[in-house]
Amino acid sequence: MNSIISIESLTKYYGKFLAVSDISFSVNKGEIFGLIGPNGAGKSTTMRSILNFIKPTEGKITIKGLDSQKDYIKIRNLIGYLPGEFSIYDNLSAEEYISHILHLRNKSNKIPNLKNLAAMFDLDLSKKSKKLSKGNKQKVGIIQAFCHDPEILILDEPTSGLDPLKQQEFEDLVLEFKNQGKTIFISSHVLPEVETLCDRVAIIKNGQIIAEDKMADLKKKSINRIEVQFSKDFDVDKLRKNIGISKVTGDSNKYTFDIEGNIDKFIKELANHEIENLKTIEPDLEDIFLSYYREQKG
């Protein structure tokens, strides 16, 4: 695979506080890569290091082989960026603001993409920024990141403030960019968004990458959620003693079991009981996330 963003042994201290500890991963060409974790886990520090806003204490970041600290001007020509806290000048309209940013990028503000994107997000470009709602400001942020047709997109919590309909538009836009062979790096704590979009994800916790895998494989490796309806009342505590079950919900004769790892022992145990119905439920990313967290704590 052709690595576009490469992070090698990135460590960042703020004074004595360790924000990011020896993390390494890469994002490949044409891939949507997600960095997920709760607030304060180190997502923004990682993203801001890529853009050379933050100087790594140790480690190296390269974008298309260019060093993030030495070649940052060349890198910024390749990138569209949406920060976690996006802010625009109150005295400018959305169009004036985007025009200003495009000028700084040495691009014309006559880019056809601009009008299309504004129409897609139902955004009135002539409105002064101070009159825009949080969601509309976020749309301006998304549009300025996409409109100059960058090769690489770095998006920090991109759907913050967007209504569900516009979140869908955003996801379509990201997928369209991916289909054009572009590379997208998203950080988020909105797990369903990552689940829908990303090819691969890394889970970051306390500044460390605790898991990195293909979205599909990550789901497989995590918990198995099985819903079982027994023919008669079932002693779930006895089953708990015999095998490792992370979570059980339900009562009487219908239970949902979360089983980490191999389910062979669980199935064999079930074979001793009369079962009316059994179905497997695909875990969502939140379950995967919590599962990894529990594993780490353990």
Partner 1 sequence: MLNNVFLKSLRDSKNVLLYWSIGIFLLAIYIMFVISEIPLDQFQSIINSLPDSLGQFIAGSGGLDLSTVEGFLNAQIFTIMAPLIVIGIAVSSSSKASAAEENIKSLDIILSTPISRRRFLLEKILSMTTKVIFICAIHWLSYVLATLIFGLEISYSKLAAICIQLGLMSVTFGLISVLVGTLTGNPSKSIGIASIIGIASYLIANIAPLVDSIEFTKFFSLFHYYKSSNPLANGFHEWHWSIFIITSLILILLSLRFFERRDLL
Residues at the contact surface with partner 1, assessed by CB under 8 A? 14, 48, 51, 53-55, 72-74, 76-77, 79, 81, 83, 85-89, 91-92, 96, 99-101, 103-106, 141, 144
What angle (nearest 5°) sits at the alpha carbon of residue 80, between those of residues 147 and 9? 165
Nearest approach, Cβ of residue 101 and partner 1 (Å) = 6
> What is the C-alpha separation between 5 and 56, in angstroms, rounded?
15
Nearer to partner 1, 109 or 224 (CB): 109
SS (H, E, C) 205-263: ECCEEEEEEEHHHHHHHCEEEEEEEECCCCCHHHHHHHCCCCEEEEECCEEEEEEECCC
Minimum CB distance to partner 1 smaller for 152 or for 226: 152
Among residues 39 and 106, whose Cβ is nearest to partner 1? Answer: 106
* Sheet of 58-63, strand order: 17-28, 3-14, 58-63, 66-67
Min dist. Cβ of residue 184 to partner 1 (A): 15
- What number of other Cβ atoms are within 10 A of residue 99's Cβ? 20
Beta-bridge mates of residue 201: 34, 213
Give the burial class of 264: count Cβ atoms within 10 A of its Cβ; 0-12 exposed, 13-18 middle, 19 or more buried.
exposed
| Residue 76 or 294 having the CB closest to partner 1 | 76
Q: Smallest distance from the beta carbon of 104 to partner 1, in angstroms?
A: 4
Which of residues 22 and 71 has its CB atom nearest to partner 1 in the complex? 71
Q: Shortest gap between Cβ of 54 and partner 1 (angstroms)?
A: 5
* Shortest reach from residue 84's CB to partner 1, in Å: 9
Which lies closer to partner 1 via its Cβ, residue 153 or residue 288? Answer: 153
Those residues with Cβ within 8 angstroms of residue 65's Cβ, 6 or more apart along the chain or in another chain: none
Contact 172, 19 (CB under 8 A): no
CB 75 within 8 A of CB 66: yes
CB of 9: closest distance to partner 1 in angstroms? Answer: 18
Helices and strands (DSSP H and E) totals, the chain: 11, 14
